[in-house]
Amino acid sequence: MLQSLQIKNLALVDSIRVEFTPGLNVITGETGAGKSIIAGALGLLLGERTDKSVIREGEAQCVIEAGFHLEQAGEIDAILRETGLDPCAEACLVIRRLVSASGTGRQFVNNSPATLQVLKKIGDLLVDLHGPHDHQSLFSPDFQMSLLDAFGDLDSLRQSYRQVYDAWQALCEKRRSLEANDHDVLRQIEMLSFQVKELETAGLREDEEEAVSREQTMLGNAHQILQLGETARHALSEGEFSAFAGLAAAQQALGELAALAEPAKTWKDDAKSIAVQIQELARNLDSFMQKIDGDPTRLQWLDERLAVYQKTKRKYGGSVVEVLAFLNQSKQKLHDLRSRGEKISKLDAELAEIRKRLETEGRALSEKRKLAGKRMEKAIGKELKDLGLASASFSVGLCETEAQTSGLDTVEFGFTPNPGELERSLRMIASSGEMSRVMLAIKTVLADHDRIPVLVFDEIDVNVGGKMGQAIGVKLAEIARRRQVLCITHLPQVAVYGQTQFAVTKTTRAGRTFSGITRLTTDSRVEEIARMLGGRDLTSVTLKHAREMLEKAQG
């Protein structure tokens, strides 16, 4: 419920604070006193757009603040969490809005900065505000559908349908993504096919490039290698002055020296060992040179193979490892793209199956809605008779449509004020008096289903006479047993049904006009009702009549 409302520097208001009570709160006052400022202030708190013209003349800003106590804070807390705000503490919610003369504005939820969109979302769950010229949530087709489903206790069926619908939409989106940019997909397939073919033809291997490079270096220098090898072999074992010939002479001398000097025996053995090593080295060198192949065909192949490695690495990666990784990725992408036709066929089968489920769920929901609509028409028709519209009729029209989040149909509330007239959409009602009573009838019937805790009626009794005013007062009191109701009224027949009454007054001080609001006591309430009955000049007759009206309404 709305516990408190504080207004500073809004229109004629300097500073007021109102403490509301459960049940029916009525707000009265003379014409022009500023009764509707209360509704206007609530509208601003609930996200309505405004400008600096609402600020009291000569002030820099206006401030509006409301405190709510929430019986169920779950939905409000969910909105706050979504927007990065802290949830309500102890089910208390405080909304504050500042409008500056500079044109800027700020708003806060539980003392944390918030956007107007957040205020609007919260407001849609907290307060239903109806004024004589307002189009409220009640006149929205989506909200009418929600009311019908709530009236028929169809929320579980609707939720079941919505789950199937969401799954269907997800599959549709998946299929659209596979079909999207079909021309681009064909280009990708063409490009990837070329790349994979080129890389597979190249046949790169991690260990091949180094081996080819070594062989290419050797064959490219075959003549010089053979020349140098021959020189080395000749120096080692050929010719009169080769290393081997020198060691043979050294061994002979050391053999003779060994007969004269003991250490020479070891030196002779060392020389022999070195001679064996030189012979082995010469044989290895000769064997190596025998394998040198100066075939230009082989050399050309090696050159071309290295060129393939260099070109491929430049094009697809800095190393053979990177090129091979690119090849594997490209093959996988190509497979995925080529198999998308199979995936689309599979999705089509899944879509056909889930579409059947969607139709089944939607049809079941539609049938239940038709039954609920008939009951709703009768219930609201009864309320309209109580409100003086005995010849009027109310209808709930359902129209088949394509699958949407709410089902396979749309709803439109219709109204016929008099027999023989054409039925019109509820939103097209021309008479403000008729609109007020139709809306009140709907609110009465749906009071147990509509979860919005605070209902605000701004002059719902406009263009309504005394007898109908009493009927409206009875209906408001009935709704107030299940919801908190704020009613701004000019009719005493309505005001007497309020559990709490506030009077708005206008005074002039030092050339400035001020609007104020006072919670009335029993005696002052009698006086206010008497004023509403007979004007400023109170008489014993009007006072007595006022007291009797209050006693009857409150008894």
Q: What is the pLDDT of residue 433?
A: 67
The 10s digit of each residue's pLDDT in 12-50 is 888 899 999 999 999 998 877 778 888 889 989 988 888
Q: What is the pLDDT of residue 176?
A: 83
Share of the chain above pLDDT 90, in %: 30
Which tokens belong to 414? 């219709």
d(CA 453, CA 443): 12
- Taken in order of first residue, the domains within the chain and their CATH numbers are 1-137+449-520 (3.40.50.300), 203-338 (no CATH), 522-555 (no CATH)
Record the pTM: 0.63
Q: What is the pLDDT of residue 177?
A: 75
Q: Look at 302 and 456; give whichever has higher pLDDT.
A: 456
The 10s digit of each residue's pLDDT in 208-250 is 888 888 877 777 666 666 677 777 777 777 767 787 777 777 8
The 10s digit of each residue's pLDDT in 52-61 is 888 888 888 9
> Residue 234's CB: how many other CB atoms inside 10 A?
13
Going by C-alpha positions, the residue among 237, 233, 341 that lies closest to residue 289 is 233
Taking 50 as the threshold, does the pLDDT of residue 452 lie above it? yes
Average pLDDT, the chain: 85
The 10s digit of each residue's pLDDT in 460-499 is 776 666 678 888 898 899 889 888 999 999 899 999 999 9
Going by C-alpha positions, the residue among 436, 505, 449, 518 that lies closest to residue 476 is 436
Q: What is the pLDDT of residue 51?
A: 83
d(CA 253, CA 237): 19
d(CA 239, CA 242): 5
Q: What is the pLDDT of residue 135?
A: 42
The 10s digit of each residue's pLDDT in 169-187 is 999 988 887 776 666 778 8
Give the relative orientation of helices 432-445 and 466-480 as an angle to the nearest 10 degrees.
Answer: 30
Tell me whether strands 24-29 and 454-458 are parallel, antiparallel or unpaired.
unpaired
Q: What is the pLDDT of residue 159?
A: 94
d(CA 141, CA 410): 7
Q: What is the pLDDT of residue 160?
A: 95
Reported confidence tier of residue 306, pLDDT bands at 50, 70, 90? confident
